[in-house]
Amino acid sequence: MKFTYYGHSCFLVEINNKRILFDPFITPNELAKDININDIKCDYIAISHGHADHIADAVTIAKNNNSAIIVCAYEIYEWLSKQGLKNFRPMNTGGKWNAGNFTIKCTAAQHSGGLPDGSYGGNPVGFIVSDGTQSFYYAGDTALTKDMELIPLWANLDFAVLPIGDNFTMDVADAIIASDLVKTNKIIGVHYNTFPYIVINEKEAVEQFKAKGKELILIKIGESIEL
C-alpha cells in the first residue's frame, strides 16, 4: 500500500490498484498550501463525517475525478448529491461494501456529524479497508471508545490511522490505548497541528508511542510512504 498525506485527516491510500482519498480538507488548510487539489487523482473518496475539516474539498475533487465514487453516510450522500455529484455508495455504521478490489466497512466513531451549512449529517464513522492481504483502520474523528475492541474481530490490521490532536478527538495517550484495542503497533497520526486547539509536540508523541513498543508515523504533508 502507498500512503500519501495531505494534512489534517486527509490522505490517499493506493490499495490493490485503486486510489482512495479520505476526508478531503486541503484548500482551507494553511499547512497544506503547497498541495494543488487539481493534481489529486482518485477512484474513491471516503468521508468519515460531515464537518468542514473533513469535507471542504469533496465537491471540487469529486468533479475533477469524474468517476470517483464517494463513500459516506446516507445523510452526507443526500447533501452532496444536491451539489451535483452523482457517484456514491451511501452507507451507515456497521455496513460493509465489497468494492471489488477491496472491502470497506463503516465502524462506530464517538463524535458528532453536522454538515457545514447546519444540515444533519448522520453519524460519524471510521473505516476498515482490506484487500484480503493487507488491512488498515482509519478511526475518523473519535474519542477513545470500547467499540474499538471489535475491530480485531473484523480485520488483522497492518496499521491504524488515528487522530492524536486532543481537544476534538483522542490525545496521544488515548490513541496509544486505542492502538492496543485494535491490536496494531503501527500508527499513522492525523488531526493534529492544523488549528491552535490541536497543536502537539510531535517528538514527545513519537516517544510516548515508542515507550509502549509502538511506532507512531508522522508524515510530512505532501509526502508518501509504502506500507
Q: Where along the sequence are the contacts to Ni ion (CB under 5 A)? A: 51, 141
Site membership for Mn ion, residue 57 (CB under 5 A):
no
Polymer length in residues for the chain: 227
Angstrom distance (rounded) from CA 69 to CA 163: 24
Q: Which stretch binds Mn ion (CB under 5 A): 47-55, 121-129, 179-187, 214-222?
A: 47-55
Residue 220 amino acid letter:
K
Angstrom distance (rounded) from CA 56 to CA 44: 16
Site membership for Mn ion, residue 53 (CB under 5 A):
yes
Angstrom distance (rounded) from CA 7 to CA 54: 11
Angstrom distance (rounded) from CA 102 to CA 133: 10
Q: How far is the CB of 165 from Mn ion (least distance, A)?
A: 9
Q: Which stretch binds Mn ion (CB under 5 A): 70-78, 123-131, 139-147, 172-180?
A: 139-147
Q: How far is the CB of 198 from Ni ion (least distance, A)?
A: 11
- Whichever of 19 and 51 has its CB closer to Ni ion, that residue is 51
CB atoms within 10 A of CB 44: 25
- Whichever of 11 and 102 has its CB closer to Ni ion, that residue is 11
Site membership for Mn ion, residue 166 (CB under 5 A):
no
Site membership for Mn ion, residue 141 (CB under 5 A):
yes
Q: Which H or E run includes 217?
A: strand 215-217
Q: How far is the CB of 153 from Mn ion (least distance, A)?
A: 27
- CA count, 13 A, side-chain hemisphere, 163: 28
Q: How far is the CB of 169 from Mn ion (least distance, A)?
A: 7
Any idea which residue has 515507550 for its cell?
Answer: 211
Residues near Mn ion, by CB under 5 A: 53, 141
